[in-house]
Amino acid sequence: MKDKLKSLFLYAFFWLLFFFAARLLFLIGNYGDSSELGLKILCGTFSRGLKLDISATAYILAVPMLVLLPSIWIRGEWFRHFMKAYTWLFLLLCSLIVVADIFLYSYWGFRMDYTPLLYLDNPGEVVASVSNLQIAGFTLLVILLTVVSGYLYNKFIDKHFSDKGITRCRIPVTIAFLVLLGSLIIPIRGGVGLAPINAGSVYFCDNMFANHSAVNVVWNVGSSWFNRKPSVNPYSFGDLDRSIAIRDSLVAKTADPVIVLNTKRPNILVVILESFGNFLVGPLGGDTATTPNLNSLSGEGLLFTRFYASGNRTDKALPAILSGYPAQPAVSVIKEPRKTQSMPGLVRILNENGYKSSFWYGGDINFANINSYLINSGFGQIVTMEDFSRDDYNSKWGVHDHVLFNTLRDSMSVMDEPFFRVVLTLSSHEPFDVPMEPVFEGSEDLDRFRNSVYYTDKSLGSFIEWAKTSEWWDRTLVILVADHCRLSRPEDMVYSEDVFKIPMLWLGGAVREPGTRIDRIGSQTDIPLVLANQMGLSGEFPFSKDFLSEGSPEFAFYVYNEGFGFITDSSKVIYDHKLGEPVVSEGPDSERDLRLGKAFLQVLYDDYMKR
């Protein structure tokens, strides 16, 4: 058993060295970009990228460890021959990917994924697109990398897979290797945390080339292949140009907005509240006991009474709130760093106008590729659970909200202005385990959820009361908005309109007329454009409308996994794509609104696929 373990360890080390060499070749091949990186950042591409290198190595080890099991019982050199053939095959495949990536990066600006494989159906066109010199250089590098790596394998690794004789205690050894095979899931998913590893997990600085260099391209190709999306728009309902014209009419500027702020350059603090829904907020028609602080604060600012979430998860909410990019059915753009780096962004606009931007979250920022999205968005500082003491890790997701708000308060005692801060809470997420005696009795999910919301509301209320005493309050806009809602009643369907109704409240000294209710229909997707227009800043948000402009069409578009909802001031349509028909159709203009919703979704998904 000791010999077999040693051979597997050396084999894993061999592949880690291969990926080290692959990254080094990538940096050399893109010398113009890498030469601008300092030594610390260059080293960071290797140290941060090691996580994906280990994951890729674990994937490669899975088949040999499975085939190794019968070698415990069946003697001979057959396993050694298998390993040599398997290794040379993978070396050739990996070398093709590594070298192709070096050539393609300068044209594409992102690490290679599975998309080049789509062009293999037309190899003649591919060959016609490159010069003979490029083909020769590509072929030579692939052969060189494969042969040199294969030679090193033959010389230093191959001999360790030789049959050393009969294995004693074969049943215990078999069981041990079965356990070892199963344990590969840990390095494959990047550890034992809640969030599995993703490409964004290795992003570590504001230099995009450095972040890209840390990505293991072989892992990236494999991951993108297994998680690939449709190659054609599944929501193609008609002529695309006509659908674009409809989308343009829905978001066209018709008049100047009503100005609700008393300054063009307020500090901005956005607090995104996990899972808060209208049914929990008294002034929005919900119960009066769950969010007493939010209920009270609703009379001190601008309360938006007909506001909707773009989707049903946090990873769908963040691009909507910060980039004006609507959620998509069945997929999530935030999980694809290549796409998010080209998205519009409120953060970049504010950065260009002198704002200091930061994002605060007490959980694992690698979940759902949030980390890469935030870096791509341009945040200057990102605070996560790793920045808190482990003594405060009292939540399954990270640190509880009172710890987050207390640390935020300490950091804001003296502030450089103007600032843009975004805070994402987490304690009202499942499993609803909060450090507080229950206020609402009962063991049902809804009871436990209400207790967790009450706790977050209390933590938020304490922070806001302190903020009112701060020196910067009078120059600040505080936006409280939920990321999404959840099912609240047994009769609720996943697509129900009530599931997407969320609170949004603007507070702070920058608000011109506190105590105002705004009843016009809006959604998370509109936030960046509304803010930019209030501040007199220019920004392109092709799916946002300024619902504070009187002539703007009143509608909200949201998606669930199988379809979309399109809500207007006169009608409501909820369309299920698998059924091919609406599941809800109400109001005199429902047929028109169905056409509008289909056009909006078609253009959105077409844009998503092209990024």
Convert the pLDDT of each residue in 319-341 to its tens digit.
999 999 999 998 999 999 989 99
Say if residue 199 is in the same domain as residue 289. no
Tokens of 358: 């930061």
**pLDDT at position 76 over 60:** yes
Q: Residue 97 has what pLDDT?
A: 96
**pLDDT greater at residue 113 or residue 20:** 20
Residues 202 and 278 grouped into a single domain: no
Give 246's pLDDT tier (boundaries 50, 70, 90). very high
Residues 350 and 461 in one domain: yes
Per the DSSP assignment, residues forming a β-bridge with 382 are 359
State whether residue 22 is helix, strand or coil.
helix
Instruction: Name the percent of the chain lying above pLDDT 90.
Output: 79
Q: Please check the confidence at residue 94 and state whether its pLDDT lies above 70.
A: yes
- The stretch 287-291 carries a mean pLDDT of 96
The secondary structure element, H or E, covering residue 145 is helix 132-152
| Residues 539 and 498 placed together within one structural domain of the fold | yes
Query: Is the domain of 213 the same as that of 339?
Result: no
Are 221 and 266 part of one and the same domain? no
Mean pLDDT, rounded, for 136-165: 94
pLDDT at 128 over 60: no
Q: What is the CATH number of the domain that holds 349?
A: 3.40.720.10
The answer, yes or no, to whether residue 211 has pLDDT greater than 60, is yes
Region 43-69: mean pLDDT is: 96
The stretch 370-395 carries a mean pLDDT of: 92
Domain boundary among 200, 226, 252: 226
Same-domain pairing of 113 and 138: yes
Whether 126 shows a pLDDT value over 90: the answer reads no
Per the structure, the count of domains in the chain is 2
Query: Span 8-21, mean pLDDT?
Result: 97
594: in domain: yes
DSSP structure string for 355-371: -EEEEEESB-TTGGGHH
Is residue 581 in some structural domain?
yes
Query: What average pLDDT score do residues 80-86 get?
Result: 97
Residue 540 has pLDDT above 60, yes or no: yes
Q: What is the pLDDT of residue 120?
A: 62
Residue that terminates a domain, selected from 226, 251, 285: 226
**CA–CA gap between residue 122 and residue 125 (Å, rounded):** 6
Look at residues 175, 193, 226 and tell me which one is the last residue of a structural domain: 226
The single residue listed with the structure tokens 């790793």 is 386
- d(CA 209, CA 212) in angstroms, rounded, equals 5
Residue showing tokens 């705004």: 518
Q: 265 and 188 share a domain?
A: no
Q: Work out the pLDDT band at 121, boundaries 50, 70, 90.
A: low
* HSE value, Cβ hemisphere, 13 Å, CA-based, for 280: 33
Which residues fall within 8 angstroms of residue 98, CB to CB, at 6 or more apart? 22, 25, 26, 145, 217, 218
SS3 state at 477 = strand
If asked whether residues 164 and 114 sit together in one domain, one would say yes
Q: What is the CA radius of gyration of the chain?
A: 27
Whether 123 is covered by a domain: the verdict is yes
Q: Is residue 232 part of a domain?
A: no
CB–CB of 549/530 below 8 Å?
no
My answer on whether 283 and 420 are in the same domain is yes
260 & 388 share domain: yes
* Residues 255 and 218 occupy one common structural domain: no
- Residue 302, SS3? strand
Q: In whole angstroms, what is the distance from residue 401 CA to residue 367 CA? A: 18
Any domain includes 234: no
Tens digits of residue pLDDT in 385-427:
999 998 888 777 899 999 999 999 999 988 899 999 999 999 9
86 pLDDT higher than 80? yes
Say how far apart CA 611 and CA 108 lie, in whole Å: 11
Report d(CA 522, CA 542) in Å as an integer: 15
Is position 51 within any domain? yes
Give the C-alpha separation, 275 to 214, whole Å.
34
Range of the domain at 384: 240-610
Whether 9 has a pLDDT exceeding 80, the answer reads yes
In degrees rounded to 5, what are phi and psi of residue 148? -65, -45
Q: Residue 231 domain-assigned?
A: no
d(CA 374, CA 420): 13
**Residue 164 pLDDT:** 73
The single-letter code of the amino acid at 312 is N
- For the cut 80, the answer to whether the pLDDT of residue 123 exceeds it is no
Strand arrangement of the beta sheet that strand 563-568 belongs to = 555-560, 563-568, 572-576, 581-586
pLDDT at site 104: 87
Spatial separation of the C-alpha atoms in residues 435 and 401, rounded to whole Å: 10
Q: How far apart are CA 396 and CA 414, in angstroms?
A: 31
| 225: its two tokens | 């292949």
Residue 430 lies in a domain: yes
